[in-house]
Structures are given as structure tokens and as C-alpha cells.
Structure 1
Amino acid sequence: MTADHQLLALLLFSAFIAGTLAITTWVSRHRRGSAEEFYAGGRLFSPMENGFAIAGDYMSAASFLGISGLIALFGYDGMLYSVGFLVAWLVVLFLVAELVRNCGRFTLADVIAARMRERPVRIAAGTSSVTVSVLYLVAQMVGAGSLVALLLGGTSEVARSWTVIGVGALMVIYVSLGGMRATTWIQIVKAVLLMAGAVALTVLVLLRFHGDVNQLLTSAAERSGHGRDFLAPGLRYGGDWTARLDFISLGLALVLGTAGLPHILSRFYTVPTARAARRSVVWAIGLIGSFYLMTIVLGFGAAAIVGTGEVRASNAAGNTAVPLLALDLGGGAGSTGGTVLFAVVAAVAFATILAVVAGITLASSASVAHDLYASLRRPGRKRRYGEVAVARVAAAGVGAVAIALGLLAQDLNVAFLVGLAFAVAASANLPVLLYSLFWRNFTTRGAVWSVYGGLVPAVLLVVLSPVVSGSPGALFPGMDFQVFPLENPGMVSIPLGFLAGWLGTVTSREAPDEARHAETEVRALTGAGAV
């Protein structure tokens, strides 16, 4: 990249960082210091504001960089991510949003503990939420590193590593100083910027082909190196039985995982009522659906205009397809238009990463403080203000872990990494959430077994999969302790989570608390007694 690219993009990066830090500083001066303010922003956001924030929280680096990159590399098979991420919101809308808002206070564990023994349930749910959050954060770190490496010439490993560290430090600052209110406004600003950038690029791609989508797809197939196979299923997930099962496993993880993501569930507590939570989801679905339709155009546009070979040469995982597309659409390397458009897209992508990591870090630090610390703390301590202080410290700890893992996983596709986080969320969080909301006889043992019965197999299968060892693109390519053949564990670990919850309940000697279940059911369905 030329010096002009670097200077303009860095100026835009700096402008967004300065703006978000200004928001964070302003909010920190007006905060009340309470747990409700820190975790839920005082529950003062409107459905539209929260809908934009949900979209900003959900449309991550995986969406903007990873999905488009996978479509540019694998064509039809890459679209599975766009479809899966969108369809998942129907599960959230119909089964989760309103009930979670009525039953909980700040975290997933609040919903489960409403009718169970709190201590074991909170420890299990808190552990699971932190694990999912860290996996999700790693993907954002990798996206940030790829973006800056491209900006500085594509070969700067040192710059990539320092970018990962810098993003981690910024997310800790956002969360520690501003809490949910600052994080929400950062996400709203980011959602507007991302939608505007995606619309502009989509229009430019369609104008390049005079609005002829058939010509776009034909050109993409020709420049992909795969011919018509690029537009048919099977390029990535075809062939042997392992690849086909991976396809099913990934689809299950994407569709079911969203409803178990801690940073998404926590957004429902930022609005005053369950009705507002439902309307927030409707706003989010409209924004997210529009965006994922555009990622399909951008992915095939990158294949047709830039070429699959050039995308792969820039970044083997395809994470730089959209910035390269912007450079070409603006007039090519060295042109003023190309420089401006590339810099704008790079800045929007960087804004996307910063906003998402802030939301995830807040959710994970809330789980540490509100669930783990609150369950393990010594009796007699003040709970509310002690929790907020612990949450700020926890944000730094989670950031450090995410930075370390992000440095290890720099060569993996960000959408693929998010798919792993979705698999763990669908395995550990979704079964216990649905059982708690809809099964009258569900017990504490069932809840704990459900969480660990999904979490442990999901993480273990990832460690023993080709993602970590035994393949050229693994985290540790020089080692081979691969046992599990699938890259995504969802097909195995999700049923195990449901099975463990059922088994723990039917073998439990604890009698279900009918009164607490009835109270929870009335609260979930009517909102009576909701915080």
C-alpha cells in the first residue's frame, strides 16, 4: 500500500478512536456508579437505539471481512455464513428476547438461577459465558491484525501483533470507563458507518456490472479458477463425508448459537420492557438482513473484480477481500479515489472491530463479576459497588487472554473463528436457557450438567480437531494430536448439551420447586415483577 493509503487510513482510524474515547469520557463523567448503570445503561435505550446497537454488536469483523472473504474464495459455500447468521435471529425473536428480558437482570445466569440454587448455576453459566466471549474476541483481534497488515504492506507481523495489543487495550478502556452506555453509543455509531460503507460498495459493484447480477456471477466464476463449480455447492464443504458433516455442523452452530451469545443476551436488559426488547430485535433483523444480502454482492464482487487468486495471495484466509475490492472500485492502487475508498473501508472495518470487542468484553466482565465473583465472594461485602469494581478489573484480564490467543490465531479466517464461538454458545448456553424457560421439571443438577455437558465436549473437540493441529492451516501446524475429524464441533456438542441437561434432571433427587417455576413462568410471559 502507498504512503497515501497509510496516512489517510491512519487519520480516519485516529478520528474514530478519538470520537469513541470522547463518548466514553463524557459518559464516565455522568455515570452513577451503580451496577444497573454499568451493566445495562440504566435501561433507558429506545427499541430503535437498541436495535442499532444490537446490529452494531452482531455485525462483527466476521461479517464484514470474513464472510465476504469466504464467498470470494469458495463462492456458494461461503454464503452459508450469511444465511446462518441471519436465520439465527428467528430463534432469538420467537424464543428468547422477551422471556430473557422479563426473567433476568444483567446476565444469562440470572435467567437460569431464577428457579435454581444460585451458586452452582452461576458458576457454571459464568464460566461458559467467559469462554464463549474469549473465543469471539479472538476473531475480532485476528480481523484487526489482518487489516493493519494489509495497510502496511501485508508482511508486517510486528505491526499486526501490536495492532492486536492496541485493540485489546482500547476495549479495556471503553468498558472500564464507560460501561454499557458508552459501549451502546459506540455500537450505534459503528452500525451507521458500517451500513453506509456496505451500501456504497454494493452500489459501486453493481454499477461496475451495469446492474446485471448474472454478469457479476459469471465473471466471479471465471476469475475464481474453479469455473461453474464456484457457483455450486461443494467447493468447500463437498467431497468426502467429513466435509459434508462439517457443513451440517457449522449450520447448526450458526443458527442456534446466536441465542446463546452473552453479549447479545445482555442487550435485552438495556431497554425498559419486554415489548421494547422484541421491537429491538425487529429493528436488528431489518438491519442485519440488509447487511448480509450486501455481503453476498461484496464477496462475489471481490472474486469478479479483484480475483480469487489475488485475494488469497493477500491473505490466505480471505480476510482482506473487501479492502482490496474498495481499492479497485475507487480506481486502483495509486489513484486518489482508490486511496480514499480503501481508507474509508479500512476505517469502517476497524470501527467495527472496536465496537464489537467493547460489547463482548463488557458481557464477559459482567459474567465474571455478577456471576462468578458474586457466587464466590465472602459474605458481608457490599455487592453492587464491589461488583462494578471487579468487572473493571475482569475486563483487563479478559483482554489479556484474548490478546494472547489472537496472536496465536492470526492466520485463521475470522468468520470461521466466530463459527467456533457460536458452536460453544449453542452447546453450553442454549440448552440450559431453553430448558430453564420451558421445562417445568428442570433441576439445578440438570442446569449444571447441561452447561458443562455442552461446554467441555465443544472445547475439547476443538482442541482435538484440525483447527488446532494436524493440518497446514492449524494453530500449531508442526504438531499433530488431531483425533476429531470435523472443524466445527456443533453437530456433536449441541446434542450432548441437551442430553446432559435431560440426564442430570431425571437422575436428580431434588424435587422441582413448583412455586418458583410458576412465579418464573408468570414473570416470563407477563413481565410482572421484572426488574
Structure 2
Amino acid sequence: MMTTFLAESTTEGSGNPLLNIAVFLVFIIFTMAVVMRAGKSTKEASDFYTGGASFTGTQNGLAIAGDYLSAASFLGIVGAIALSGYDGFLYSIGFFVAWLVALLLVAEPLRNVGRFTMADVLSFRLRQKPVRVAAAFGTLFVSLFYLIAQMAGAGALVSVLLNIHGDTAQAVVVGIVGVIMIVYVLIGGMKGTTYVQMIKAVLLVTGVVVMTVLVFIMVRGGMGTLLQQAVETHANSETIAKEGYAAEAILSPGMKYGGTLAKDLDFISLGISLVLGTAGLPHVLMRFYTVPTATEARKSVTWAIVLIGSFYLMTLVLGFGAAALVGPDRVHNAPGGANAAAPLLALELGGSIFMAAIAAVAFATVLAVVAGLAITASASVAHDIYAAVIRNGEATEEEQVKVSRATVVVIGILAIVLGILAMKQNVAFLVSLAFAIAASANLPTILYSLYWKRFNTVGAVCSIYTGLGSALLLIILSPAVSGAKTSMIPSLDFAIFPLSSPGIVSIPLAFLAGWLGSILTKPENLDHLQAEMEVRSLTGVGVEAPVAH
């Protein structure tokens, strides 16, 4: 029976399942050893949340890249480009430009004002309890949607490696990934997670560089030759023919977005969400609390930009490489659909061993990002809701860490369940939903808090709940959840909102709600805190001193 299984797997282009499992186990054992060693020094809340702010700028830069370059960046974008060409590359552009927006607008001021979480900044000069609770809800939903994408990516990845086609078997894979993630975080906290992210960032960028070189060697030419071969492969594709596109459509806008007003608006909405979303992603912004000084924070940003920028440029080569060498038919029919393009390209380029190695790196990508998200969500519950609201600031650090660990288990289980429902969605698209929620719920309040003196508690609460509520409602009523073959619930159709991405509606609503809430109610009259926040955000003076009010 095992011989038959191996033969079928190899025939269908999944490599050697036993080899794939062996490489996976080696990688998991190695990273678990790193996490366990780091976990021995995780004693206080600051160790669990921020690694004791003990990392250098170079280390944190690698970790930021590890946090930001998720399964969406590798599996989702390569698959999107392989099937949709030009339109798929828009994800790469959006994700990279978004990082620059986060850097210029919020990264350093946020780091200078806060201690552990985004809510530290939002509540600095406002009333603590209502703002912290609202910010915690925003953080939890962003983290949860991001986790769903990583779980779906992991399910697709392992399903390709083991040639698993059944929904039940893929659901089991997602469950196993979720359990491993929970164990990573419970043992290692932020220190262990950061080390895994550093290792993963180096391996992922190295693997992508090697794949990029091999693509050009395989096509025996440069970018022009690669694009021409991609067009030729698309010309012979049944999948592309069924959709009614010409082979050359892969080089032009319109295969996924454009052609109708709804698709044009969907494209604009996606672009807005991607560009503005990163500046509201709590798990990325939280990384700036893991370095001791603003100088190290800036150094970490420099390293992150180099790695992230290089990576997204190379996704263009890998995406068209998958289109040319693997073909849309194999990608479309593989377990995981578009998310299978990258591992199938690795199999084409270097055989079973290379595919197993690249898949292990991609699996580490999922684990590292998932662990960072879980810590961010758990910190928000323990630090913002339990310690600041329920216990009125009197909770011990041991209590906070216990609550954090319990939160990791709960949110891990939720992510597993929702990840199973979302297995057929492109991972890059799923992450774009998390970006839309972040840009709607978090970014308006962050910008208002940092740059508008008139902003008050009512404005903050209105902005967060309006942005979060409208984004979630529009996602539920969109084709992403029902009404299409790739929807989370394909058997039902209540998609009355025609756009897949809600950002074009929910982001302006959040800004408007924050403005109206502030101008229609009385100012806070906390000018001394406003002045202190301004000085700290711009200079970093007093960054170690927590604020009590």
C-alpha cells in the first residue's frame, strides 16, 4: 500500500512523500530546540511579549522580514502571478509600498511611545479602559484573519507534498500545524519566536535567490525569454482557455481585476487596503519594541527594507517561472490550487530534495508568522484587557503571562477551524482581508493619536469600532464568504456586497467616525499628556517610563 502511495505521489508530481516528511521533521526538531533554549530565559512579561528588548538592530531587521514575509508573500503571490500574471504582481507591489508607508508614518513614533502593544500608544493621552478594550478587539481580529491565511497556506503546502486531495485529510494537516504553532509560542515566547523568524528569513531569501537563478538557467535566457515562455505555456492551457483569456493576457492588466465597474473598484479597494494595512498590523509594529533604542530600531528597518524589497522583486521571476515551467493547469489541479505553484516550481527546478527543502522553509515561514501573531493577540488580551481593564493595573507579570498562554490556545483553536473553511482561497487574498481590517480598525486611530491634538476618547472608540465593524460586515457579505466556488461557504449565497475587499468603504468610514466623534464631543483637556506624547514620539525621551493616569 505504501509503495502504491509513493508511486502515485511521484507520478502526480509531488516528489517523494517520505523524503518530504523527513526534511520537515528535521527542520521542526531544529527550530523546536532553538525555541526551547530561548524559552528558558522567558520569565517576565517583557520577555514573553518583547524578548526583553534585547535584540540588536540587525537581528530585529531579520525578524521583521521573517514576520512580514508570510505564506502569502511566498505561496500566494507566486500562485497569483502564475495564474493571473500582471494582476498577481500587484500583491507584491502593494505589500512592499505598504512597508514604506508604515516606516515613514508610524514605526518610530509608535516604538517611542509604547511598551508592549499598540494600545499603549492609543491610550497614552486618552481614557485607558475604553480605548484599550477597543484596540484589543482590533488587534484580535486582525491577528485572527492573518492566522487564517497562514493555516490555509500550511494546509495547501503539506497537501501538495504528500499528494493529499481530500478535504478531510487537508483539514487534519491544518490542525497539526495549529497544534505545533501553539507549542512553539507556549514554550518560547517572543525570544523563541524571534530566533525562528531570523532563521526563517535567511533561509527563505536564500531559497528564493537560488530558485530565481535556476529559473533563468532553465529558460536559458533573461526576463524577456521567461515572459515569452510563460505566454507559450498559457497558450496551451485548458484552464486559461476555459476562462476565455488570450495567452498574452498574462502580460497585461485585467485577468483578475478590470473589465467591469465592480472589478475596477475591487482593484482600487485592494490597493488601498494593501498600502495602508501594514501601518496598522499589530504583529509587525510590535517588533519595534524588541530593540533597546530608537537607533537600533532604525537599523532594523534598514535591514528589513533590503530583504523585503529584494524578495518582492524576485517573486515576479518565480511567478512567471511557475507560469512557464509548471503551467496553470498543473497549478490549478494541484491540492491547494494557486498556493501550490511555488513548491511545484521547486520540484521542476531541482527535483524532490530541492522541493522538500523549499517546502520546509515555507513551512517555517508559516510557523514563524503564526507564532508572532499568536503572541501579539495574547499580549493584547493579557496586557490591555486583563491587566489594564479587569485588574486595574494591579495584575502581576506572572498572571499576565498565564493569561497570554491561555489566549494562545484559544486563538489557535479558532484559527484552525477558520483555516479549514478557507483552504480553497488564495493565501495572498486572505492576507489582504487582514490588511483591510488593520487599515480600517487600527490605522485611523493611530494616525489621529500621533498627529491630531483635538482627537479624544470618543473619536478613538468610534473610529475603531466603525472600521472594524464595517470591514467585518462587508467581508461576511462579500463573495469571499459565500456565492462562489472558492468561497468559505460555497453552498450558500448571501454575497450582497459585490467587492471582495472592503477597504474602499470601511477605511473612509473609520476616518470619518474618528473625526466626527472628536469634533462633536468635548476635548479631553489632557494637554500635558499631549505634549509629553509629542516629545516622546519624536525624540524617544522617557521611552522606558510607563505612563500612569
CA contact (8 A) 2:126 2:524 kept: no
CA contact (8 A) 1:199 1:294 kept: yes
Structure 2 counterpart SS, 1:406? helix
Give yes or no for the alignment of 1:307 onto 2:327.
yes
Shift of 1:41: 0.5
Q: CA RMSD in A?
A: 1.3
C-alpha distance after superposition, 1:46-73 (max 9, x if no partner) = 1110000000011111011000000000
Shift of 1:170: 1.5
Give yes or no for the alignment of 1:168 onto 2:182.
no
Which residues of structure 1 form unaligned runs of 5+?
331-337
Give 1:516's match in structure 2, choosing from 517, 524, 529: 529
CA contact (8 A) 2:193 2:372 kept: yes
The corresponding residue for 1:335 is none
Give yes or no for the alignment of 1:479 onto 2:492.
yes
Alpha-carbon distance in structure 1 between the residues aligned to 2:267 and 2:227: 23
Shift of 1:74: 0.3
Give yes or no for the alignment of 1:263 onto 2:299.
no
Shift of 1:343: 0.9
Superposition pairs of residues 126-205 of structure 1, within 5 angstroms: 126-205=136-215
- Change in CA separation of 1:61 and 1:476 when aligned onto 2, cut-off 3 Å: same
Give 2:410's match in structure 1, choosing from 375, 397, 402: 397
The corresponding residue for 1:22 is 33
Give yes or no for the alignment of 1:54 onto 2:86.
no
Structure 2 counterpart SS, 1:319? helix
Give yes or no for the alignment of 1:436 onto 2:449.
yes
CA contact (8 A) 2:231 2:324 kept: yes
C-alpha distance after superposition, 1:139-161 (max 9, x if no partner) = 00001111111122241433321
C-alpha distance after superposition, 1:135-182 (max 9, x if no partner) = 000000001111111122241433321221111111111211211100
Structure 1 counterpart SS, 2:258? coil
Structure 2 counterpart SS, 1:528? coil
Structure 1 counterpart SS, 2:338? coil
C-alpha distance after superposition, 1:248-289 (max 9, x if no partner) = 000111111011111101100000112221221121111011
The corresponding residue for 1:11 is 22
Superposition pairs of residues 84-483 of structure 1, within 5 angstroms: 84-225=94-235, 226-315=246-335, 317-330=337-350, 338-379=351-392, 381-483=394-496
- Change in CA separation of 1:464 and 1:150 when aligned onto 2, cut-off 3 Å: same
Alpha-carbon distance in structure 2 between the residues aligned to 1:252 and 1:361: 26
CA contact (8 A) 1:97 1:281 kept: no
- Change in CA separation of 1:529 and 1:466 when aligned onto 2, cut-off 3 Å: same
Structure 1 counterpart SS, 2:500? coil
Alpha-carbon distance in structure 2 between the residues aligned to 1:276 and 1:342: 36
CA contact (8 A) 2:159 2:336 kept: no
CA contact (8 A) 2:455 2:523 kept: no
The corresponding residue for 2:508 is 495
CA contact (8 A) 1:252 1:491 kept: yes
Which residues of structure 2 form unaligned runs of 5+?
1-8, 236-245, 545-549
C-alpha distance after superposition, 1:287-313 (max 9, x if no partner) = 011011111100000001111122111
Structure 1 counterpart SS, 2:321? helix
CA contact (8 A) 1:44 1:271 kept: yes
CA contact (8 A) 2:159 2:335 kept: no
CA contact (8 A) 1:97 1:274 kept: no
Amino acid aligned to 2:500 = E
Alpha-carbon distance in structure 2 between the residues aligned to 1:19 and 1:348: 12
Alpha-carbon distance in structure 2 between the residues aligned to 1:247 and 1:386: 45
Q: Comparing 417-426 with 366-375, which one deviates more in the overlay?
A: 366-375
Alpha-carbon distance in structure 2 between the residues aligned to 1:123 and 1:325: 45
Alpha-carbon distance in structure 2 between the residues aligned to 1:399 and 1:46: 29
Alpha-carbon distance in structure 2 between the residues aligned to 1:20 and 1:348: 11
Give 1:75's match in structure 2, choosing from 58, 66, 85: 85
Alpha-carbon distance in structure 2 between the residues aligned to 1:62 and 1:302: 16
TM-score when scaled to structure 1? 0.96
Alpha-carbon distance in structure 2 between the residues aligned to 1:289 and 1:248: 22
- Change in CA separation of 1:4 and 1:484 when aligned onto 2, cut-off 3 Å: closer
- Change in CA separation of 1:181 and 1:252 when aligned onto 2, cut-off 3 Å: same
CA contact (8 A) 1:154 1:314 kept: no
Report % sequence identity: 54
CA contact (8 A) 1:135 1:421 kept: yes
Amino acid aligned to 1:229 = A
The corresponding residue for 1:333 is none
Shift of 1:380: 8.0
CA contact (8 A) 2:39 2:191 kept: no
Shift of 1:510: 3.8
Alpha-carbon distance in structure 1 between the residues aligned to 2:397 and 2:270: 39
Alpha-carbon distance in structure 2 between the residues aligned to 1:472 and 1:372: 39
Amino acid aligned to 1:508 = T
Alpha-carbon distance in structure 2 between the residues aligned to 1:144 and 1:199: 22
Amino acid aligned to 2:165 = T
CA contact (8 A) 1:97 1:278 kept: no
The corresponding residue for 2:6 is none
Shift of 1:526: 1.0
Alpha-carbon distance in structure 2 between the residues aligned to 1:512 and 1:210: 68
- Count of equivalent residues: 523
Amino acid aligned to 1:457 = S
Shift of 1:471: 1.8
CA contact (8 A) 1:149 1:157 kept: no
